[in-house]
Amino acid sequence: MKLRLMAHLWLPFTQMQGFDAGARTFVRGQGTTLFDARGRRLYDAVSSIWTTIHGHCHPRIVEAIAHQATKLDHATLLGATNPVAEELAERLCSLARMDRAFFASDGASAIEAAVKMAVQYWQSAGEPQRTRFVHLTGAYHGDTAGAMSLSDIALFKARFGSVTFETRIYGGDGAFEEDVAAVIVEPLVQAAAGMRLVPPATYEGLRDIEPLVIFDEIATGFGRTGTMFAFEQTGVTPDLLCLGKGITGGALALSATLVRAPVYDAFLGEPRELVQFFHGHSYAGNPIACAAALESLELFGEERTLERAAAIARRAGTRLAALHTHPLVREGRQAGTMIGVEVRGDGRRIANDLYGRGHFTRPIGDVVQFVPPLSSTEEEVNAFFDALEGVLAVSS
């Protein structure tokens, strides 16, 4: 196999030394399939890291993007608005029962906004000492400095401790002290921790607490866990809700921090008071991305996406149960269509072997992930598990 080293492109979370670009170059996507430069068809078993919802290049989303691109490609939201961003804000707030939507581009940007909103909220509420943040064990909220601070990733702390701030662990000392601004949680499942399931009782303690409650649904939102948003299954209503990834159906970068009215109201005042939210990104509320998101929400109804997600979850659950006794499987974990198979062995090698069998996934340590597009058929789910069983059989 010829090694093709790239001259200029630097890939995220990838050791570039010796990276063989020829092995993983995707040139086309259609439905649940990615096509690589060598002409191989790959089932996108990880939804391109939890973004793709209705499949790649869904004609309706492509059409919505193309149509919007001819009308208004971009106009800043700094002191101005556009009808597409307004409509999307309304749709998202009504779906999530929140009051206002603040747009950004990637998930981590939505988290950064939530952090700053929480700090300023408490300044307005007359409790400026509330500046601390609490997160779950094993948390992951993104790679920017604030989001890394809220993450419980040893490597982040070891390497970037100098540019992150101190936080506390939920359930640990000081989690509800009077200096806590907000508790941030991933509902039901911590995807980046290897599809680590969070016991529902964990969320009980978040009802009626003084600090704000931030739910990070960047990975779990848009049907992945069976409901439109995973928080619906926790019985807790967040004060702030961060969305990203699947928000556009997976086609374009867009994220949102949704808030409830009391949070928003804390930022209202006379211009000279300087209490407006001092935060914003150039492409916030980009009309093309918002048009893709609106079309994606339409598809949820028309293609009965949540019903399809339920069928995928049932089929995957049955196949996962059959793997539990496999000597190479330590544990299978599932929250709806978010599935992790913790193996005894090298997750990377298993993922590579799966690639050879036409299934693209990316391992998290020794956890093989299966987070399929919600447009997947039961046959495709079966084919993935057949391939995984095949790979495990030759590894035994």
Ligand X SMILES: Cc1ncc(COP(=O)(O)O)c(C=O)c1O
The answer to the question of residue 336 lying near ligand X (CB under 6 A) is: no
- 295 lines the binding site for ligand X (CB under 6 A): no
Interface region with ligand X, contact rule CB under 6 A, candidates 104-112, 166-174, 272-280, 376-384: 104-112
**DSSP assignment string, 173-184:** TTTTSTTEEEEE
Which residue, chain included where needed, has tokens 């989690």?
Answer: 175
180 binds ligand X (CB under 6 A): no
Cα 154 off chain centre by: 20
Site string for ligand X, 202-221 (x = CB under 6 A): --------------x-xx--
Maximum distance among all Cα pairs of the chain, rounded to whole angstroms: 69
The tokens for 366 are 């020794």
Of 185-193, 233-241, 266-274, 335-343: span binding ligand X (CB under 6 A): 185-193
Q: Is 185 in the site for ligand X (CB under 6 A)?
A: no
User: Of 20-28, 73-81, 137-145, 343-351, which segment contacts ligand X by CB under 6 A?
Assistant: 137-145
Residue with token string 């009391």: 262
Six-digit token string for 379: 């046959």
Question: In one letter, which amino acid is 150?
Answer: L
Does 106 help bind ligand X (rule: CB under 6 A)? yes
Residue 234 vs 315, nearer CB to ligand X? 234
Among 88, 93, 192, 212, binds ligand X (CB under 6 A): 192
| Closer residue to ligand X in complex, CB, 186/342 | 186
Q: What Cα–Cα distance (Å) separates residue 129 from each residue in 41, 179, 180, 211?
A: 55, 5, 8, 12
Identified binder of ligand X from the candidate list 187, 223, 226, 244, rule CB under 6 A:
244
Distance CA(48)–CA(58), nearest Å, equals: 15
Distance of closest approach, residue 254 Cβ to ligand X, in angstroms: 10
In order of 17, 97, 99, 101, 320, the CA distances from 227 in angstroms are 41, 14, 20, 20, 21
Piece in contact with ligand X (CB under 6 A), picked from 71-79, 171-179, 186-194, 343-351? 186-194
Give least dist CB 139 to ligand X, A.
8
Kind of pairing, strands 329-335 and 338-343? Answer: antiparallel
Residues 6+ apart with CB under 8 A from 56: 29, 30, 31, 32, 33, 34, 44, 48, 250, 373
Tell the smallest beta-carbon distance from residue 136 to ligand X (Å). 11
Contact pattern for ligand X over residues 139 through 178, marking x by CB under 6 A: -xxx------------------------------------
Residue nearest to ligand X (CB): 107
Interface with ligand X by CB under 6 A: which range of 24-32, 71-79, 138-146, 363-371?
138-146
Q: Is 186 in the site for ligand X (CB under 6 A)?
A: yes
Q: With CB under 6 A, what is the number of residues at the site for ligand X?
A: 15
Q: Is 332 in the site for ligand X (CB under 6 A)?
A: no
H helix runs in the chain, sequence order: 47-50, 59-71, 83-96, 107-124, 145-149, 154-160, 201-204, 261-265, 287-302, 305-323, 347-356, 378-395
Per CB under 6 A, residues contacting ligand X are 106-108, 111, 140-142, 186, 191-192, 216, 218-219, 244-245
